[in-house]
Amino acid sequence: MQIHQDFQWLDPSARGASVAMGNFDGVHRGHQSVIDLARGPALLGIITFEPHPRQFFAPQSPAFRLMNAEARANRLARLGVQHLYQLPFDATLASLTPEGFVNDVLHQGLGISHVVVGADFCFGKGRTGNAQDLATLCEERAIRTTIAPLVADNGTEISSTNIRRALTEGRPRDAAAMLGHWHRVEGAVLHGEKRGRELGYPTANMSVDGLHLPRLGVYAVLVDILTGLQKGSYHGVASLGVRPMFGENRPNLETFLFDFKGDLYGQHLSVALVDFLRPELKFDSLPALITQMDADSAKARDILNAL
């Protein structure tokens, strides 16, 4: 998959695509239905924005994203997307009228042949354009437009909002049912305090900055090592939280990989939350913590071996 960071000066080989357009936070089943409608004889592309427009307009608001740009790109590549047009969302783009966006970005810039959006899609300065406006403006420029219906499951709309709610409540399997895949945290392994190594549980530490926080606690996880000589898939157990026993309060994800030996610093991991095991606790002693970690690991192994 090729990633393009701008809509100007595009190579001719990347023009003429049939695209799905939106933020695609989570790349959930509703997003996947939009992408499927864009499939055809033309190149399959995605138009999305980075940062998320909500981050641009309200940078101090609480973190809400289900995935970072890296995780989104990885998920879209798995779906067979050939071109990702990840447009920088800045003051210039935000100021474009609906007509200006269609003309300057879609028609003259990207030269797309077909665009698919969800029925609730809004665009242009002040979100003044809707899906029907998009269809009208595109038709004037010979760009075919498809408006995809919203997707529901058992009467519940599949949306990023409902997925966030499931994760906040510690229901990762319900989130996965709406996503169509496990909810994952992806990123580089960072240097930590190395306390886990001293306890017999060396962990891979990852930042969750900028992401919506699932319920804090311990999870059974599936882990993919995406880079390095030890690329592969593993089972594990992870703690998402602030480490109250050690007085630290910046949330991160610490993952222990079963049956793994090696150094993962700097490598990129994808950690899928499968089941919530227990909330984060503060223990009276290190032996009590280790006993609980042993129990967490045994429970996680049973869960993951049954998948």
DSSP string, 151-168: -EETTEE--HHHHHHHHH
CATH class held by domain 182-305: mainly beta
CB atoms within 10 A of CB 9: 7
With beta carbons less than 8 A apart as the criterion, state whether 238 and 253 touch.
Answer: yes
pLDDT of residue 26: 96
Helix axes 160-168, 172-179, angle to 10 degrees: 160
Residue spans of the domains in the chain: they are 2-153, 182-305
At 88-99, the pLDDT tens digits run 999 999 999 999
Active site includes 254? yes
Active-site residue identified among 140, 169, 254, 280: 254
pLDDT at 246: 59
CA–CA separation, 208 vs 205, rounded Å?
Answer: 10
User: CA–CA distance from 60 to each of 63, 139, 210, 271 (Å)?
Assistant: 9, 38, 11, 27
Which segments in the chain show pLDDT lower than 50? Answer: none
Q: How far apart are the first and last CA of the chain?
A: 30
Q: Do domains 2-153 and 182-305 have the same CATH topology?
A: no
Instruction: Report DSSP state, residue 105.
Output: I
Q: What is the pLDDT, as a whole number, of residue 193?
A: 66
pTM, two decimals, is 0.91
pLDDT tens figures, 23-58? 999 999 999 999 999 999 999 999 999 999 999 999
Q: Name the architecture of domain 2-153.
A: 3-Layer(aba) Sandwich (3.40)
- Let me know: does 20 contact 34? Beta carbons within 8 Å: yes
- What is the predicted pLDDT for the residue at 93? 95
Distance (Å, rounded) from C-alpha 123 to C-alpha 98?
6
Output the CA torsion sign for 227, 88, 250, 24.
Answer: negative
The tokens for 278 are: 């227990």
Q: What is the DSSP secondary structure assignment for residue 124, as one 8-state letter?
A: S
